[in-house]
Amino acid sequence: MFLTTGEKETEIDCFGKPAFPYFGLLILDVINRTENSMTQAHTFKAVELSMLAQKQADSL
């Protein structure tokens, strides 16, 4: 993967690494009733913000 900013390019070796480790952690949280991937409060805030954004988009 290449990460490019206005100042430089950086190559990050991703070979053999999971593409989206968050989703595996989320599944384990659901099964084990834990909050390792994201706290419940963080989840509720993300849902709240997405619903507000959708409401604003619908009113355009």
Task: Indicate the length of the chain as a whole number.
Answer: 60
In total, how many domains does the chain have? 1
> What's the Cα-to-Cα distance from 36 to each of 22, 27, 55, rounded to whole Å?
9, 10, 30
| Residue 44's pLDDT band (cuts 50, 70, 90) | very high
pLDDT of 11 higher than 90? yes
Domain span at residue 28?
A: 2-58
* pLDDT at residue number 19: 78
pLDDT of 55 higher than 80? yes
The answer to whether 26 and 38 are in contact (CB under 8 A) is yes
Regarding pTM above 0.85, the answer is no
* pLDDT at residue number 18: 75
